[in-house]
Structure 1
């Protein structure tokens, strides 16, 4: 066995997109990937050499306990090299009308669930001197019209990532944020489906105010789905974050992410507002 074959990596949300591309890339490098999925049918699809599918529901603490037990009781006593916190959802709708249950679901999955994974695997990561790799988003740096719910979760993860990194600095646990721009994944398609479902809940007055915004949100998501960076490109950066001897605290992926994360630091709010509304034809 190579040293990589003797290390585990947990990746959540691996049924498609960044998660699946990352699991595949890490497996090709020789790591044994515990690939989290929510459904058995997805587990059956992704299992292959060096990829062991495990059922992980971020809102179900029992599945996280089982994951921690699987890592602790690994039959080959392989240390946990890293956890890649990738699973999440995207709920996109105007803040005026989004049902509060949808807001709670976004936070439950994309914030509380991420912390739950970290807590469940912290003992194994601390024992191995491992790494937490959180998959953020450009939406965690800049909040576009119609994407406020999703951005709320991603902004929260930026704060959690930074606090965790500072808390654990003396314990040897490295905490890293990956910030992709628009990525061509199934999440964009799911976001469109969710937006279309929520649009049906609006009152006539809300339709008058927000139909154009819903169309813009759908167009933006379609553009990412068609022309965004590939999940494989993000997976390559995640591999670097896991392998670099002295990893950066954050890696930015994609030209749009590099540009906008810089602009948001310098542009006045009103200028940024106009730029984003113009970009979405609002």
Structure 2
């Protein structure tokens, strides 16, 4: 899409997207701009801003764990004449390290919660007055890991389960006030984050004690091998971006959308299968990825 085609579209208002440096966030920013929105895209680095900027995409440096960064958001909508009315907030920023519950230091647990949960709460609190004025929407990007917690995904899944609960409560609080809250649950999506997660998981595994390595070394290798095997078959980021755009624009949005057949299947199974049956199914899927000997 050219800049001139962006200019020719009638403005649809503004959408804020966090975690827009790469992956799903960047794709969502571009898709929403293509549909005529002015997009304020939160990024972490100047080079990411330069890569994303167009007539319809306005990047800002935004670390959602930094109070000073959060404080800059509300003033952007003190006067809607520049950006247009705030129609939606897409809470997308996230980090992930996979590790057994026993082995991940508490500081790393807290860091994941700061980004994946508390940062979203801070951004939502800052922008809710503008969303309430405009009957806007909050779109929370969760994960299939927000419905099913696989082994070694406990820290990440815990943040996403919490985000799902937060979304349910927020939806029920804001529905009478005209603001809709929607959750998007991607499954396997081909993003730069996938490779970073494997690298971070390996780094964390290297810090385990010898006893922990004996207990969990083969599990970590299997989890990483399974993740690597799924990357080539993951959905393209543009598919996730279109689902997010649907959540923003649908006249009567669902409370939850999945991205990819794997997410749809797992979320359905999680609702109907007994826990032990689901445990066995997940263990069966992981079994082929175990090494014969541990090298962790």
TM-score (norm 2): 0.92
Alignment of 1:120 onto 2:110: no
Aligned ranges for residues 69-218 of structure 1 at < 5 Å?
A: 69-76=75-82, 78-218=84-224
Alignment of 1:27 onto 2:17: no
Any stretches of 5+ residues in structure 1 without a counterpart?
Answer: none
- The worse-fitting range, judged by mean Cα deviation, of 62-71 and 188-197 is 62-71
Q: 4+ residue runs of structure 1 moved beyond 4 angstroms?
A: 1-4
Distance apart, 1:6 and its partner CA: 4.6
CA distance in 1, matches of 2:56, 2:104: 41
Deviations 1:179-224 (A, max 9, x none): 1111111111111111011011111111111111111221132134
1:33/1:170 CA distance change after superposition, 3 Å:
same
Alignment of 1:250 onto 2:269: no
CA distance in 1, matches of 2:14, 2:154: 35
Where 1:76 maps in the other structure, the secondary structure is helix
Deviations 1:42-83 (A, max 9, x none): 112211231110111111011111122123245536100101
Aligned ranges for residues 36-47 of structure 1 at < 5 Å?
A: 36-47=42-53
CA distance in 1, matches of 2:241, 2:96: 20
Distance apart, 1:20 and its partner CA: 0.6
CA distance in 2, matches of 1:179, 1:144: 15
CA distance in 2, matches of 1:94, 1:18: 26
CA distance in 1, matches of 2:279, 2:83: 53
Q: CA RMSD in A?
A: 1.5
1:92/1:77 CA distance change after superposition, 3 Å:
closer
| 8 Å contact kept, 2:184–2:259 | yes
- The worse-fitting range, judged by mean Cα deviation, of 145-154 and 198-207 is 198-207
Tell me the residue number matched to 1:51.
57
Distance apart, 1:156 and its partner CA: 0.1
CA distance in 2, matches of 1:10, 1:220: 34
How many residues are matched?
282
| 8 Å contact kept, 1:188–1:224 | no
Tell me the residue number matched to 2:245.
239
CA distance in 2, matches of 1:78, 1:2: 16
| 8 Å contact kept, 2:38–2:83 | no
Distance apart, 1:153 and its partner CA: 0.2
Tell me the residue number matched to 1:14.
20
Of 64, 67, 73 in structure 2, the residue corresponding to residue 67 of structure 1 is: 73
